[in-house]
Structure 1
Amino acid sequence: MSGTTRTSAELDVRRRQILFRAWHRGMREMDLIMGRFADAEISNLSEEDLAEFERLIEVLDRDLLGWITGEAQTPENYDTPLFHRLKAFHSHTSPIHV
């Protein structure tokens, strides 16, 4: 069960792969954080944003979760506008308390 609430039929191959990876991270909390953001934003992300999201997908769950919750300082090279969008999206839409 992926959890996604959207169809990927209209997405190009790259976006479909990103959507799948966002929902299959390993830690359920991160599946929900990254997957929900991808569901809502994947169609609107620029090529630059897609590359940045792919880079965030590669970050270890425990590190990324710490940055999103503010329990750990976000490294400067990951403190990007897209990361801020992800963090704001999570804080405004998620009933999950991680």
Structure 2
Amino acid sequence: MDRDTKIKRLRFRAWHRGTKEADLLIGGFFDQHHAGWTDAEIEQFEVLIEEQDVDIMAWAMGTQAVPDHYRGTLMQAMETLNYVPIAR
């Protein structure tokens, strides 16, 4: 599958998680960061979003330790939480 098609599929999956909170966290993260990702980071995100939303959210918020296989620049960026869109 070409990169553009993969990005479109990942965006859909990032924004259609099942809860509004997960959509905002995971979808907001995707929208903010995906343009600069390498192919390896895209693959890592692809694996990450197969995890349970509650786990991803807990890792991002620091309430659970991030598993070693997800540690790296992708998860460090997710832990900043500065990408969550908040209506004012």
Please confirm whether the aligned pair reaches a TM-score higher than 0.5, indicating the same fold.
yes
Corresponding position of 1:36 = 28
Q: State the alpha-carbon separation in 2 of the partners of residues 74 and 25 from structure 1.
A: 20
- Give 1:27's match in structure 2, choosing from 8, 14, 19: 19
TM-score normalized with structure 1 length: 0.75
Aligned residue number for residue 16 of structure 1: 8
Give the conservation status (yes or no) of the 8 Å contact 2:29–2:78: yes
What fraction of aligned residue pairs are identical, expressed as a percent?
33
The answer for unaligned runs of 5 or more in structure 2 is none
Is the aligned partner of 1:64 residue 2:43?
no
Which residue in 1 is equivalent to 2:43?
51
Q: Tell me, what secondary structure is at the counterpart of 2:79?
A: helix
Structure scoring higher RCO (CA < 8 A, sep ≥ 6) equals 2
Q: Among residues 76, 80, 88, which one is paired with 2:72 in the alignment?
A: 80
Q: Number of paired residues? A: 84
Deviation digits for residues 39-87 of structure 1 (CA, Å, limit 9, x no counterpart):
1222221100100111111110111111111111111111221111122
d(CA) in 1 for partners of 2:52 and 2:7? 21
Aligned-residue Cα RMSD (Å) equals 1.7
Distance 1:49 1:35 in 2: 16
TM-score, normalization by structure 2? 0.83
User: Match of 2:55, as an amino acid?
Assistant: D
